[in-house]
Amino acid sequence: MDNRISITDLKAKKKRGEKIVMFTVYDYPSARLVEEAGVDIAFVGDTLGMVVLGYDSTIPVTMDEMLHHVKAVARGTHTAHVLADMPFMSYQASVEDALRNAARFLKEGGAQSVKLEGGARIAETVRVLVDAGIPVMGHIGLTPQSVNQFGGYKVQGKTPAAAARLLNDAKALQEAGAYAIVLECVPVPVARMVTEKLSIPTIGIGAGVQCDGQVQVFHDLLGLYPDLQPKHAGRYADVGDTIVRAVRQYANDVREGRFPTDKESFLMDERVFTDVTHLA
């Protein structure tokens, strides 16, 4: 039986001053690796639209696509808390839609909680989900599903009024029952203020070290897209270059007749083979 990190465990980490490690993964092999590395939250983000499926934003991602990937990550983990991202228009149209779709992530996907973008305007939706037994993580600051409204991927909360709105949004989500909140692309002083004012954890991405935890994307951290490195992304390896070199070497070896060797082939006694040819 799985012994997964719970939302109670995550909230207790804030009280103890322990940082929360959240990592965005999209498939079974990646999930197995981050599980072995000991992350607290395996997050299946709707960024899979861009990172895995080749869309130009998160907007086209569907519930079926999300469920497909959430199931894979759940199968690849046993202790990490699996968090599923609610895709665009899976919760905005009505509370009923939100409840139905969020429940699918837990019932069908094997997730332990869901994440919704937005502040005070979705607080009632959060409250309904929590009351139904569905743990919710909030997400404020730069919310990618609202990229068309923002006019691009821009830092949020840069003015006193905007910072005050962020704090009010965070408090509204906390009061509605959210167990944690992502702060994306928020100036460090604003993220620090929100973190200090809340009793629930904040998870930063482009929001400074003083958040209660951090989240990064698998492909960003490992350099799987060598020509793409967002400002907020830490790069700990250059796996993309390694893969290209390996595949190029394989292609050259095939073309030059160097692969496969006897090591990668199945051999047989030539005398047996001679007997076989006599029967042909």
Contacts of 138 (CB under 8 A, 6+ apart): 115, 116, 118, 119, 122, 126, 169, 170, 173, 178, 180, 181, 182
Q: Give the chain's residues under pLDDT 50.
A: 148, 150
Give residue limits of the domains in the chain.
Answer: 7-237, 242-279
Largest CA distance in the chain: 89
Contact 268, 276 (CB under 8 A): no
Q: How far apart are alpha carbons 254 and 24 in whole angstroms?
A: 35
Which residues are 234's β-sheet partners? Answer: none
What's the CATH class of domain 7-237?
alpha beta
pLDDT in tens, 164-173: 999 999 999 9
For the four alpha carbons of 188, 41, 229 and 70, in that order, the dihedral sign comes to: negative
Residue 13 has a pLDDT of: 98
Q: Out of 36, 65, 184, 256, pick the active-site residue.
A: 184
Cα distance between residue 166 and residue 188, in whole Å:
13
In the prediction, which pLDDT does 277 show? 58
Write down the pLDDT at residue 270. Answer: 77
Catalytic annotation present for 35: no
Task: Region of 257 please: left (phi>0), alpha (psi -120 to 50) or beta.
Answer: left
Which pLDDT does position 272 carry in this prediction?
A: 74
How far is it, in rounded angstroms, from Cα 57 to Cα 182?
A: 19
